[in-house]
Structure 1
Amino acid sequence: MSASLVLRRRLAGELRALRLQAGLSQEQVAEYLDASAYKIVRIENAQSSIGMSDLRQLLTLYKVGAETRDRLIDLGRNARKRGGWWSSYRDVLPGPYVQLEAEATLVRNYQASIMPGLLQTPDYIRAMVRTSSWEVTEEELERRVDARLKRQERLYGDDPLELHALIDEAALRRLGGDPQTMRGQLNRLIEAAELPNVSLRVLPFQAGLYPAVGNPFVILSFASSMDPDVALCENRAGERYFHDADEIAGFHADFRQMTKVSLDKTASVTLIREAIKEMTA
């Protein structure tokens, strides 16, 4: 399994901390490497990887001890490795999200009008893709389905991903595909709610307005304290990632408050069953 993006973020954070500890500006570091300040910004924001030659020069500049130097050089090598199952789906998974999700240990996901991607059925996925991409070919459609189902494998196994899903009642009532597809999707939610690593709660209409209402987001958390949380908001304009500690704290605060006004597991499953009955009638 490749952890390149997560490790690149970790290395970027350590290099930024070392630069600040050395009392150097990004411009001074850029001059030392005979590079542009923009390059240093991208390295420290984990937007691009750092070459091994540049890494060694920076560690010399920062006067890093032998033990730390060896550790960061090893981290740099691993951060440059490519691979992972998603490599075969680059055409349908262009962004960095799946790499981050593959290394996360906990995903907090709030959805306002659709089902969480990790809990979608194949038919529901097809209905969503056809709605958002009218000109998609059948081959691309099935590759998108396969990629999403591959992501869902993380919910099972010996060390499963922990998922906390908050779903607005509107998502239960909004028809995704035909009624049969939607019934299958709702039954999938009931099955997922029984998994020990999944917390599924519904935000009922009676909850009224709540923080972030109508604005879905995901918070990714990782096993190592050296890998800070990442938040993602996605819409028609694309993906926007948040890394700043204060911004992340805001997302966590919203998620906690929304959890408080959501139904518990039993009441959530009851509401989902009611939605299935109403759809059948």
Structure 2
Amino acid sequence: MRGDEAEAIVQIAKEATKRGWWYSYRDVIPDWFETFVGFEGEASLIQAYQPQVVPGLLQTEDYARAVLGLPWQKLSDVEVDRRVKARLGRRQLLEEERSVSYHVVLSEAALHCQVGSPEVMREQMARLTRAVERRQATVQILPFAAGPLASSYGPFVLLDFPSTEDPPVGYVEHLTGGLLLEDAAAWHARTDRMAQEHSQRRERR
């Protein structure tokens, strides 16, 4: 990465870490995720791939509670409740007048993975439909037939910013935290590849 690009990333990070709506949830939002939420709020284009579950920005309250309440998370009821509220707070990004484009590629597995009760899943599928109908998000489904290339990708988010002088930022989570990746060229290639796979699949139908 060139020096000017690194400097731009640092400046975006400074803007992103200014106090926002999430400040009151700092007790349940780790520092690394607080930085990501700040970046997310500055982005003009958010592209995400999720192979297992519906991404947080599109989750219903009950779906988010089921995900965050999984036993391995080892969270108290109070912590789950606080994290659910923080997750729902992020959704205001899609409802603001400020223009942000949200493009999600979901693996077909994410639609079949049972999270919570059947009623929770029905409500979640309805939420996805409403988000598309209201043009809050573009959602593409990557079918099982797309093969192992797509399924080999883990979840990731790619953020682009309004100014062309600000380089895109990639974000990935792992078991114990998350990483912001400054060299996002490979991530752009991934999103382009998955969009191509989706289009080719539709053409073969």
**TM bracket, shorter-chain basis:** 0.7 to 0.9
Larger Rg: 1
Between the aligned partners of 2:16 and 2:39, the Cα distance in structure 1 is 15
Distance change >3 Å, CA 241–CA 180, structure 1 → 2: same
Distance change >3 Å, CA 263–CA 142, structure 1 → 2: farther
Three-state SS of the structure 2 residue aligned to 1:102 is helix
TM-score by structure 2 length?
0.84
User: Could you tell me which residue of structure 2 aligns to residue 254 of structure 1?
Assistant: 190
Three-state SS of the structure 1 residue aligned to 2:104 is strand
Q: Which amino acid is the alignment partner of residue 13 of structure 1?
A: E
- Between Structure 1 and Structure 2, the one with more strand by share is 2
Instruction: List aligned pairs for 1:28-39, cutoff 5 A.
Output: none
Between the aligned partners of 1:11 and 1:202, the Cα distance in structure 2 is 33
Structure 2 residue 119 is the aligned partner of structure 1 residue 180: yes
TM-score by structure 1 length?
0.63
Residue number among 16, 24, 27 corresponding to 1:88 in the alignment = 24
| Amino-acid identity (%) | 37
Structure 2 residue 187 is the aligned partner of structure 1 residue 193: no
Q: C-alpha deviations, 1:15-52, integer Å up to 9, x for none?
A: xxxxxxxxxxxxxxxxxxxxxxxxxxxxxx74xxxxxx
User: Could you tell me which residue of structure 1 aligns to residue 36 of structure 2?
Assistant: 97
Three-state SS of the structure 2 residue aligned to 1:260 is helix
Contact 1:210 1:258 in 2 (8 A): no
Greater length-normalized contact order (CA 8 Å, ≥ 6 residues apart) = 2
Between the aligned partners of 1:177 and 1:142, the Cα distance in structure 2 is 16
Residue number among 208, 219, 229 corresponding to 2:158 in the alignment = 219
The runs of at least 4 aligned residues of structure 1 exceeding 4 Å deviation read: 78-81
Shift of 1:227: 1.8
Between the aligned partners of 2:15 and 2:110, the Cα distance in structure 1 is 38
Between the aligned partners of 1:257 and 1:11, the Cα distance in structure 2 is 25
Shift of 1:108: 0.3
Aligned residues: 195
Between the aligned partners of 1:80 and 1:181, the Cα distance in structure 2 is 33
Three-state SS of the structure 1 residue aligned to 2:81 is helix
Between the aligned partners of 2:109 and 2:178, the Cα distance in structure 1 is 23
Contact 1:113 1:214 in 2 (8 A): no
Q: C-alpha deviations, 1:37-86, integer Å up to 9, x for none?
A: xxxxxxxx74xxxxxxxxxxxxxxxxxxxxxxxxxxxx8xx859841111
- Unpaired segments of 5 or more residues in structure 1? 1-9, 15-44, 47-74, 268-281
User: Could you tell me which residue of structure 1 aligns to residue 75 of structure 2?
Assistant: 136
Three-state SS of the structure 2 residue aligned to 1:126 is helix
Q: C-alpha deviations, 1:163-207, integer Å up to 9, x for none?
A: 000000000000001111111111111111113241100001111
Residue number among 84, 87, 105 corresponding to 1:148 in the alignment = 87
User: Could you tell me which residue of structure 2 aligns to residue 123 of structure 1?
Assistant: 62
- Unpaired segments of 5 or more residues in structure 2? none
Distance change >3 Å, CA 106–CA 137, structure 1 → 2: same
Contact 2:47 2:103 in 1 (8 A): yes
